[in-house]
């Protein structure tokens, strides 16, 4: 499966790159970049689909000449041939005035057709005239600077009365004039062409779809994803900082391309450019922060690295925000790219290369591919922009769109993996907690107070010898499923199964102050379920005898976490408190209890919720400190029986064995199933006959486990 996922990912990457290249070729091929060999005018004859206007005369001047130019109907000296390519470098100060002029003729065969003038996206203010009539304007003049953000292709009707129609043998020229007001841009004059309405309408849709509308759609998508992950971050207790970084990354992508696809005939256009450049810059450190949270490197130093990285990037972005003109904003952005963006991208790629190729962490392969894609596309756009050209096709937005989608998919896959991997071992509430903070699954452990529970079926070896393998597996699966569900319903975590035994714990990974009580509730529920299960097992002949579960519970400090190797780890517990719970489970057989023994440490944590009675103070195998044990009794136990027991045990520990014997005998006569009372009655009888030594401390030493 990992190989299949990797193959699919690579296919998606190749397809995306092919689409990216195709879109760029389409966009750039529609831009005049070479010297044209076309004639001075071109005819729009019947049957001809389109006329491309690509041979112009160019006049370079300043805005003070506008009135004279219009008054003379653009018939002034100074026009030079312009065959495409970069415009001459504009003079500083924003007082530039460029006039492009060409002629065209339209056949009388087209008088009954709807003809339109197609105009490619332009990034400079403009006025378009046909036969000295203004048919389109974009841009606003404010404080000496024209501002516009036109980046959409359009087509404008050439209505009857606006243009002249010509006979084939006597062409009549129509004059097309484009006035532009560049500040520092050197974009070539984009495509101007004439065609029928339906043809140009389709062309406008395709061009805008490839160069703008996809970006707008991805911006809306990223904004929705940002909102969703902001909600997840805060609703899950602000524990997984990755969600915050990803949300901010999506939001920065939304703001980084606000200028794409809109026409801002507004004095606020420079402000919009500032917002665009600031968040384009911030997108990269936010990606790096997300990446650092995902790769599991640097340990405790990681948060300081991210803090300094984001702080430095905010300072660089602030410097961009202080600029006053579009030109200075873009120039400063190019400078900050060298100081901020390129080092961050290079560092991200180096770290991801190390994690993927040296630590063999295939999970971050999508991030590695994304980093390479974003680096290539962004550097392409920056290179064009640094030459004073705003590309008709921006590559970076599409790579960012891919980034947002792939990271979103990564997070979904990560959550689904956690849900699937732990659904059989953890309660849904606990799984939800891990999903909130996947760092809990990192290799390593922590020490905390928890409660461990060990269960074992009495005499299971003898039972298994009487069953064939199929019946044995069915019996075990039925038993372990029933008992495990009870533990998980009480927010317990299944550590492992050892044959018929269950090892579980309470209080991790989801901390709960009532972990001791939850373990005790689970134990009582297991004994209740055991009675119902035995009815089914006997009726279906799955077991030759009823099942009897012994349970040991202990509370104390334990180490919990993922332990093992990076490729094979278990979420488990260890420590002396864990071993003690195992020993307590085995003590049940010495006292023939009803099946549940808890330690004095657990007793101290559960208050008066449960019915309990004291059992011996014991020294279990491997642990020298005497330990008071308590038997956890069914909830329907009579309080009077418990009172008699406590009185009898007091007499026993004070060496009044004769009176204690009488009380223990009265208990098992009244309650024939109280085998523990029989054990104590026999012990008292033995001590009456042979008293213990004077230094007897009422502690039972249990040598065997």
β-pair type (56-62, 80-82)? antiparallel
- CB count in 10 Å sphere of residue 564: 11
27 pLDDT exceeds 50? no
* Whether residue 377 sits in one domain with residue 265: yes
pLDDT in tens, 196-206: 898 999 999 98
Which range of residues forms the domain containing residue 599? 428-637
Contact 194, 53 (CB under 8 A): yes
User: Containing H/E element for 352?
Assistant: helix 342-353
What percent of the chain has a predicted confidence (pLDDT) above 70?
A: 82
Residue 244 lies in a domain: yes
pLDDT in tens, 331-347: 898 899 889 988 998 99
628 pLDDT exceeds 90? yes
> Which of residues 684 and 1 earns the better pLDDT score?
684
Residue of 698, 615, 613, 626 lying closest to 655 (CA atoms): 698
Residue 674 lies in a domain: no
pLDDT in tens, 54-112: 889 999 998 889 989 999 999 999 999 987 777 888 887 778 899 999 998 888 878 88
Indicate the length of the chain as a whole number.
705
Contact 297, 240 (CB under 8 A): no
* Whether residue 551 sits in one domain with residue 412: no
Predicted confidence at residue 10, as pLDDT, reads 52
**What is 9-50 written as a DSSP string?**
HHHHHHHHHHHHHHHHHHHHHTB--S-----SS-EE-TT--E
Cα 437 to Cα 242: distance, rounded to the nearest angstrom: 9
User: Tokens for 641?
Assistant: 């029986």
Contact 374, 345 (CB under 8 A): yes
- For the chain, how many structural domains are there in total? 3
List for the chain the helix, strand, coil content (%; round to 5): 50, 20, 30
Average pLDDT, integer, range 140-144: 58
- Residue 448 pairs in a beta bridge with 558
* Whether residue 587 sits in one domain with residue 460: yes
* Whether residue 141 sits in one domain with residue 243: no
Predicted confidence at residue 167, as pLDDT, reads 77
Predicted confidence at residue 28, as pLDDT, reads 40
* CATH number of domain containing 149: 2.60.120.260
* Whether residue 405 sits in one domain with residue 263: yes
What percent of the chain has a predicted confidence (pLDDT) above 90?
A: 37
* Whether residue 569 sits in one domain with residue 474: yes
Predicted confidence at residue 434, as pLDDT, reads 63
- CB count in 10 Å sphere of residue 24: 20
Write down the residue that tokens 């009888």 correspond to.
Answer: 685
419 pLDDT exceeds 70? no
Q: Is 611 helix (H, G, I), strand (E, B) or coil?
A: coil
Predicted confidence at residue 432, as pLDDT, reads 64
pLDDT in tens, 523-560: 999 999 999 999 988 888 888 889 999 999 999 999 98
Cα 92 to Cα 98: distance, rounded to the nearest angstrom: 14
362 pLDDT exceeds 60? yes
Cα 471 to Cα 544: distance, rounded to the nearest angstrom: 11
Report residue 36's pLDDT band, with 50, 70 and 90 as the boundaries: very low
* Whether residue 438 sits in one domain with residue 410: no
Predicted confidence at residue 572, as pLDDT, reads 85
* Whether residue 404 sits in one domain with residue 261: yes
Residue 646 lies in a domain: no
* Whether residue 435 sits in one domain with residue 409: no
* Whether residue 488 sits in one domain with residue 439: yes
Cα 637 to Cα 612: distance, rounded to the nearest angstrom: 9
Q: Which among 419, 447, 462 is the end of a domain?
A: 419
* Whether residue 385 sits in one domain with residue 365: yes
Average pLDDT, integer, range 430-458: 74
- Residue 498 pairs in a beta bridge with 501
* Whether residue 116 sits in one domain with residue 48: yes
Contact 259, 278 (CB under 8 A): no
Q: What is the DSSP letter of 354?
A: I
Average pLDDT, the chain: 82
């Amino acid at each position: 499966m990992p190989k299949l996922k990797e193959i699919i990912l690579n296919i998606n990457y190749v397809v995306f790159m092919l689409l990216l290249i195709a879109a760029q070729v389409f966009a750039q091929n529609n831009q005049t970049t070479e010297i044209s060999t076309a004639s001075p005018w071109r005819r729009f004859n019947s049957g001809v689909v389109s006329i491309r206007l690509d041979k112009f005369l160019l006049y370079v001047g300043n805005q003070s000449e506008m009135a004279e130019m219009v008054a003379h109907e653009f018939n002034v000296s100074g026009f030079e041939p312009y065959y495409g390519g970069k415009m001459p470098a504009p003079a500083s100060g924003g007082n530039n005035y460029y006039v492009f002029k060409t002629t065209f003729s339209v056949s009388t065969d087209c008088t009954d057709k709807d003809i339109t003038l197609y105009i490619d996206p332009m990034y400079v203010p403009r006025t378009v005239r046909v036969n000295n009539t203004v048919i389109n304007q974009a841009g606003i003049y404010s404080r000496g600077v024209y501002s516009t953000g036109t980046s959409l292709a359009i087509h404008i009707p050439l209505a009857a009365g606006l243009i002249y129609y010509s006979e084939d043998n006597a062409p009549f020229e129509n004059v097309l004039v484009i006035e532009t007001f560049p500040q520092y841009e050197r974009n070539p004059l984009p495509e101007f062409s004439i065609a029928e309405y339906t043809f140009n309408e389709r062309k406008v849709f395709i061009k805008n779809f490839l160069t703008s509308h996809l970006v707008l759609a991805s911006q809306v998508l990223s904004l929705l994803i940002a909102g969703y992950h902001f909600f997840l971050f805060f609703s899950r207790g602000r524990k997984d900082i990755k969600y915050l970084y990803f949300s901010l990354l999506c939001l920065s992508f939304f703001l980084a391309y606000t200028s794409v696809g809109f026409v801002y005939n507004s004095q606020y256009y420079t402000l919009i450019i500032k917002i665009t450049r600031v968040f384009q810059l911030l997108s990269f450190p936010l990606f790096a922060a997300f990446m650092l949270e995902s790769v599991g490197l640097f340990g405790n130093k990681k948060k300081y690295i991210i803090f300094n990285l984001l702080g430095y990037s905010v300072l660089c972005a602030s410097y961009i925000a202080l600029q006053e003109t579009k030109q200075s904003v873009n120039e400063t952005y190019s400078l900050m790219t060298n100081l901020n963006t390129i080092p961050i991208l290079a560092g991200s790629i180096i770290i991801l290369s190390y994690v993927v190729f040296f630590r063999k962490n295939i999970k971050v392969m999508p991030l590695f591919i994304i980093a390479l894609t974003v680096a290539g596309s962004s550097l392409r756009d920056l290179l064009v922009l640094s030459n004073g050209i705003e590309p008709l096709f921006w590559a970076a937005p599409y790579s960012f769109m891919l980034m947002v989608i792939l990271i979103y998919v990564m997070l979904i896959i990560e959550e689904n993996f956690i849900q699937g991997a732990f659904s059989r071992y953890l309660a849904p509430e606990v799984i939800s907690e891990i999903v909130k903070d996947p760092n809990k699954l990192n290799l390593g452990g922590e020490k905390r107070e928890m409660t461990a529970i060990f269960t074992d079926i009495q005499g299971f070896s003898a039972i298994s010898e009487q069953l064939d393998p199929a019946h044995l597996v069915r019996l075990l699966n039925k038993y372990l499923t029933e008992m495990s569900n009870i533990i998980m319903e009480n927010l317990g975590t299944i550590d492992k199964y050892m044959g018929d035994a269950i090892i579980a714990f309470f209080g991790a990974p989801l901390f709960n102050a009532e972990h001791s009580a939850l373990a005790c509730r689970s134990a009582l529920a297991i004994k209740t379920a055991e009675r119902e299960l035995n009815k089914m097992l006997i009726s279906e002949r799955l077991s030759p005898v009823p099942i009897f579960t012994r349970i040991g519970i202990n509370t104390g400090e334990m180490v919990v976490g993922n332990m093992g190797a990076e490729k094979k780890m278990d979420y488990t517990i260890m420590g002396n408190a864990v071993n003690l719970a195992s020993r307590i489970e085995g003590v049940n057989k010495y006292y023939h209890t009803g099946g549940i023994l808890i330690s004095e440490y657990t007793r101290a944590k559960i208050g008066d919720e449960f019915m309990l009675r004291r059992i011996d103070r014991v020294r279990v195998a491997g642990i020298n400190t005497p330990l008071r044990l308590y038997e956890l009794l069914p909830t329907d136990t009579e309080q009077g029986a418990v009172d008699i027991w406590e009185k009898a045990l007091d007499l026993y520990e004070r060496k009044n064995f004769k009176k204690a014997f009488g009380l223990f005998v009265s208990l098992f006569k009244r309650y024939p199933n109280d085998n523990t009372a029989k054990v104590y009655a026999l012990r008292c009888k033995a001590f009456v006959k042979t008293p213990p030594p004077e230094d007897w401390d009422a502690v039972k030493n249990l040598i065997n486990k």
